[in-house]
Structure 1
Amino acid sequence: MLALNIVDRSYLEFLQPLDHIQAAPPAFLWVEKLSVQLFGNNEYALRLFPLISGIISLIAFYKLGQWALSPIALPIALLLFACLRYPIYYTTEVKQYSSDVMVALLLSLLLISLRGQILGKGRALLLGVIGAVAVWFSHPAIFVLGGIEAVHLITAAPEKRKAILLNRWPSYLLWFASFGILYILLTSKVAANQVLRQQWGKEYPGSVFDIVWLLDSFGRFFYRPMGFRQINDGIAYFAFVIGCIVFYKTNKAKFLILISPTAATLVATYLHKYPFRGRLILFLTPFVILIIAEGIAWLLSQWHRKKVFAILGIVLAVTLLLPPTMRAADLIVNPERKEETRSVFEYIKSHKKPGDLIYSDRLNQFNYYGKMYFGFSDADAVPTFQDFWNPLGFSQQSWEDFKRKANLPSQQRVWFVFTALIPPEEAQVKPRLDQIGQELEYFKQPGSFTYLYELK
């Protein structure tokens, strides 16, 4: 759905709300559009920027880890960040979440390096420009900028705080002016989209005192977008709490800096301005991983004091590191395949006879792969049949009514394409198709399949 926006729109049109219930930062879309123009309309061109963002994020994460962590914790953190499920996955998807991580890490490194400094006019202006541009690349960049800089001001010596504020107010003004322009121009319109509001509405707390929601949502964070599976999400939560305690006791300033993007995001969530759930908060994963790693490292360092703590650290390290590491290693040999729709449309292209029609339960996939890749047109498509997944059962009469409206004659050959069905749904497909025609061919790929039927 996002790829259709990228391919179909001009650069200027990215300053308008997107089609197909999508939302993405304009600068991210501009880079994607440029990639398609330079390298052609294909998955590799579309996935190039997310992949580059993931690679840069690894380097930036290493630099941030050098500043934040003890020597024992750094390799633990790197292994987690490089191997966890969703940080890997989103570097291969045509969405902005991988670049959100990159922007968050780069901004963190920049702000930390300037902490407490009185900047010259040129450097203050450059800081303002970088932040102003960042919010156009990443929606949550404002949380990183505001959160970390607020901590720097809070932890600065009282006599220096006023000097820093006077020195950097032009930078702050540029940040919030840029964010304000983007919000008025685009973000507010996206936020007013009723479908998106309904989709994310349940992700907000009921009130400012809704502590149960906070604990539940933060617990879910370790499952997704962090990627810890089954009981390991609870174990990761436990390691995170230990890490928080260790950081707070040893270096409060570092702890506040690392936790500040999460705190800023939660403030926006409690104001019902930004959902705290899933891929939208992937940018917070590096900061949480650093805290988890420091918690494990502290336990491991207790071998000569309290062996029971060190043993607990070994258990946590093995439990949290082994599954993602093994899965990441397996991906090198067996890459993950989710919805191989292009292969299905490619099969149809090579086996389709003149006059054959195509029914797809995902119209956007037909529009992208069917039309743009393989040259099908609207004349090749059968409209979506809304009652196909009627939970009360397939209705022969509703199909006959649809068949007349769609002008489908008897003995018409139709390729039925289905994508991302769960097993119970997939099991329903063939019996229902058998009621309306005779099977001629079948082709299946991971996450997608097609039947060719001649209609009764």
Structure 2
Amino acid sequence: MIIVLGVFLRLYHYFINRSLWLDEGYLTSSLLNFNFQQLVTKPLDYQQKAPIGFLLIVKLFLNIVGNNLYGLRIVPLLSGLLSILIFIPVTKYFLKSTGILVAMAILCVSPAFVYHSVEIKQYSTELLCSILSFYLFIKYRTLNGVKEIIIWSLGGAVILWFSFSAIFILGGIGFGLSVYYVINKQWNILFRSFIPFITWMVSFILLFVFFISKTPDAEWVVSWFRFYGDFMPLPPKSVSDLSWFFTSFYRMLDYPMGLLWNFVEAGTQTHSYTPLIKMPFLPFILLAAGIYFCFKNSLQNFNVFVFPLLLVLLASGLELYPLTERFWLFLTPIFIILIGIGLDGLIKAKPLKIIMVSLLLISPIIQSFQSITSSATFYKHKKSYQKELFDMINKEYRDGDAVYVYWNELPGFKVYSNLKKYKFKVTEGQDFRWNSTNLADYNTKLSSDFKKIKNNKRVWVIFNNKFLSNVGDPISMPKWYYENKNLPAANLKTELSKIGKFIKTSNTADVSVYLYQITNQP
């Protein structure tokens, strides 16, 4: 029933065909506009990065089914479905019956796993690659024959081309097993294991030299994550630095694990005790117990789980990998299994197990049903209405109308104009922020844009009220622009009122549309 529910949730959200949000649009731009060779050789639009294998297989499906949202999301969907199927034998190896139940339930119904299974980004595929890495470990770790050595070597080497984060999982498995073999003086299997480990290393080096190193570094990305505290303090130098560990793992229990009780209504006042009433205690206790029992019962399994975590934390401390929201997703199989081990080892009485399982799974189950009954609130910070508003304009557009797209909504519109054939043409707004010294100067330059539309009868104006900067912009710069409370929406309305009369508006969480009747026409 759990597996069926997990499959149903993914298919449901795939077929409702939600609008792309801006971050999806950034990557989609290259997938639609580049051919196979360009995906391999050119930097992606909007400074995006994605594994080369992921890009090529998505492009393959687009060529087969055509440029549409369903084609874009086939690979994440298949990754999500395969993750469920392959996680079954992985959980059976590490866990007992109750732990298996809990582990499969978390993966199947927790909202982040469902959401990323229909998001055109690489995170669902990276989760699949993590699960595949552990599956290869349990299947071929003994290296008893040439066949096992070849499959484990080539399997890990291929996985790296579909997942940036797989280097942490495979590298951690390699380090963990090597330490285990040295401690137990198992020299024969240690030397045999060097074959797959070195093969993985060679694969990663080739990937890095020919592809990753040729992608331009984006210092602004590092500055962005540093500003929001998404890198581990290395070394921790204060109480605030130490609190990073609790805060980050607490947030991880919410997104992507989905285990916190998010029953506090949105918009209500947040109190200091709010994190406590979300019940983080149970998953934290089970996670700690799982680490203990895993170490006690199997040092090999303990090393296989802990060393990937250590590598990720080290990379985060070196500001090579942020730890927030979706960036935790590929690590979740480790946390899920450790929670299952803790549950299996800590609680023996059946009535108590039933209570603990119910308390642990109540939040992801409720959230999964809410994602269907109230899809507008399903990860609403990523909910977009671009498709709906563009379709509305296309339906209500008249001859003589103009459509003006403000600069911060151009990435989204350009993607949808490739996916759909709209009957209207647009005037693309220019970004005058960086060659303006103040608001008055900005508005003078903005009026040059309006000269292109003032001879029309009406003008539809589209702008994004959520993403107020461009990819690569320094945070809150230029200063004059972001200190002004009238920018961009109120100022845009004021300037438009000089050439037209406001008729109506359509406001959503991320995109707004204004319709103006042009006055003083020639």
Q: Same fold (TM over 0.5)?
A: yes
Mean CA deviation greater in 75-84 or 155-164 = 155-164
Distance in 2 (CA, whole Å) between partners of 1:27 and 1:55 is 18
1:177 to partner: Cα distance:
1.4
Q: Which structure is higher in RCO with an 8 Å CA cutoff and minimum separation 6?
A: 2
Partner of residue 343 from structure 2, selected from 263, 286, 296: 296
SS at match of 1:203: coil
1:175 to partner: Cα distance:
1.1
Partner of 2:90: 64
1:341 to partner: Cα distance:
1.1
SS at match of 1:362: helix
Partner of 2:163: 138
Partner of residue 450 from structure 1, selected from 502, 505, 513: 513
Partner of 2:231: 204
Mean CA deviation greater in 229-238 or 18-27 = 229-238
Partner of 1:92: 118
1:221 to partner: Cα distance:
2.1
Partner of residue 462 from structure 2, selected from 398, 417, 426: 417
Distance in 2 (CA, whole Å) between partners of 1:345 and 1:339 is 12
Distance in 2 (CA, whole Å) between partners of 1:196 and 1:233 is 33
Mean CA deviation greater in 162-171 or 85-94 = 162-171
Matched, 1:403 2:447: yes
Distance in 2 (CA, whole Å) between partners of 1:172 and 1:302 is 42
Partner of 2:201: 176
Partner of 2:320: 273
Distance in 2 (CA, whole Å) between partners of 1:28 and 1:249 is 38
- Native 8 Å contact 2:143 2:149 kept in 1: no
Cα deviations by residue, 1:106-152 (Å, 9 ceiling, x for unpaired): 111111222233331x5423322222211110001111112123222
Distance in 1 (CA, whole Å) between partners of 2:445 and 2:69 is 38
Distance in 2 (CA, whole Å) between partners of 1:296 and 1:427 is 52
The amino acid of 2:420's aligned partner reads Y
**Compared CA separation, residues 132 and 234, structure 1 to 2 (3 A):** same
**Compared CA separation, residues 84 and 420, structure 1 to 2 (3 A):** farther
- Native 8 Å contact 2:429 2:449 kept in 1: no
Mean CA deviation greater in 333-342 or 60-69 = 333-342
The amino acid of 2:393's aligned partner reads I
Mean CA deviation greater in 440-449 or 14-23 = 440-449
SS at match of 1:421: coil
**Compared CA separation, residues 398 and 265, structure 1 to 2 (3 A):** closer
Mean CA deviation greater in 61-70 or 363-372 = 363-372
Within 5 Å, give how 1:30-429 maps onto structure 2. Answer: 30-120=56-146, 122-156=147-181, 161-190=186-215, 192-201=217-226, 202-209=229-236, 212=242, 213-229=244-260, 230=262, 231=275, 232=278, 234-235=280-281, 236-302=283-349, 316-336=356-376, 338-355=383-400, 356-360=402-406, 361-375=408-422, 380-384=426-430, 398-405=442-449, 407-408=451-452, 410=454, 412=456, 413-419=458-464, 421=466
TM-score calculated relative to the size of structure 2: 0.75
SS at match of 2:73: helix
Q: Which runs of 5 or more residues in structure 2 are unaligned?
A: 1-25, 263-274, 468-484
Q: Which runs of 5 or more residues in structure 1 are unaligned?
A: 304-309
SS at match of 1:137: coil
1:359 to partner: Cα distance:
1.7
**Compared CA separation, residues 158 and 258, structure 1 to 2 (3 A):** closer
Distance in 1 (CA, whole Å) between partners of 2:489 and 2:414 is 26
Equivalences, count: 441
The amino acid of 1:56's aligned partner reads L
**Compared CA separation, residues 50 and 346, structure 1 to 2 (3 A):** same
- Native 8 Å contact 2:503 2:515 kept in 1: yes
1:187 to partner: Cα distance:
2.1
**Compared CA separation, residues 147 and 420, structure 1 to 2 (3 A):** farther
